[in-house]
Amino acid sequence: MPNLAALPTDIHVHIQPWDMMNPRAFETIRENREDFPLIERLMGDPKALVAWLDEIGLGRVALINYVAPDVMGFTHEVNPWAARYRDAAEGRVIGFGGVHPPACDDVKDMMRRVVEEWRLDAIKIHPPHQGLSPDAYRTGECPELEHVYGACSDAGLPIMFHTGTSVFPGARSRLGRTLVIDDVAVDFPDLKIILAHAGRPLWMDEAFFLLRRHPNVYIDVSGIPPKRLLQYLPRLAEVSHKALFGTDWPSPGVKDLKRNLDQIRALALPEDAIDRIVRKNALDLFPIPS
Ligand SMILES: [Zn+2]
């Protein structure tokens, strides 16, 4: 067993139960992927994932699952799936689950199961794929979201929001706007919030503002081509204690997880900033269980 605390973590990988995915979404991912056989093998076999992580020198990966029945086909069944996968992956997986109040009869019970029964590590909300604005608990459109945030806050589970646009058929990119998450951070000051993709490409200035405004708001840099990261986030070094390495592999446009990691390590940033981004911040947010 490698020393996981010394190795990098990819905080944003999509290994999901693809048999649930609707055909249009599936094709969006499968198109032009030369590494499809590898992806398929990893989907079905946590041990294959462990072997692959050893091969590429990665400690842990966060597997991002969420519930988006209409756009993606994913139901709440992703939660027990993510827990089972994580439990079989020898400590190498951080398991994200999801909740979609419009498709859930009892949100309180779902959150209880997320925390107590499946012991998931975090929740992912994908506003453009769920058709839900993060502040929908304030507008009356989805009051149950308040319970989702409260339950995560009480249990110490971080919550990740997709921020920025999405190219999947049916996705509503308007809902990827980042500034509305200010309300969530104000109303739930203890909730740890990760802004996936840092609002790319339209709302990165909003993400940067939230990062500096709220002590518990973080970004991940997934989905941003590493070579252009400093163009998109020129002040990344200033916020390197709140930025997490992630790839979004195997989403469209993300070719190779290991190459992304190497390119991040080669950026013109101080060495300690790079170490925080690829390794230390993820350890602080998701400590290795003793
Ligand atoms: Zn993603």
Q: From ligand 1's centre to the CA of 14, what distance in Å?
A: 6
Task: Tell how far the Cα of 224 is from the centroid of ligand 1, in angstroms.
Answer: 11
Interval 62-108: pLDDT, tens: 999 999 999 999 999 999 999 999 999 999 999 999 999 999 999 99
Does residue 113 carry a pLDDT above 80?
A: yes
User: What is the 189 CA–ligand 1 centroid distance (Å)?
Assistant: 24
Is 290 part of any domain? Answer: no
Structure tokens at 168: 């999947």
Average pLDDT for 222-247: 97
User: 288 C-alpha vs ligand 1 centroid, how far in Å?
Assistant: 23
**Which residue type does 223 have?**
G
Tell me the pLDDT tens digit for each residue of 13-53: 999 998 899 988 888 888 878 898 999 999 999 999 999 99
Count: domains in the chain: 1
Surface-to-core class of residue 3, CB atoms within 10 Å of its CB (0-12 exposed, 13-18 middle, 19+ buried): exposed
- The neighbourhood of ligand 1, an ion, using CB within 5 A, equals 248
- Percent of the chain that is helix, strand, coil (3-state, to 5): 50, 10, 40
User: What confidence category does residue 285 fall into, taking pLDDT thresholds of 50, 70 and 90?
Assistant: very high
**CA-CA distance, 254 to 116, in Å (whole number)?**
34
CATH number, domain of 58, equals 3.20.20.140
pLDDT score at 30? 83
Distance 27 CA to ligand 1 centre (A): 16
CA of 77 to the centre of ligand 1 (A): 18
Buried b (16+ CB within 10 A) or exposed e, 31-59: eeeeeeeebeebbeebeebbebbeeeebb
Domain assignment of residue 214, yes or no: yes
> In angstroms, what is the span from residue 2 Cα to ligand 1's centroid?
27
What residue numbers bound the domain in which 216 lies?
4-285
Which amino acid, one-letter code, is at 284? D
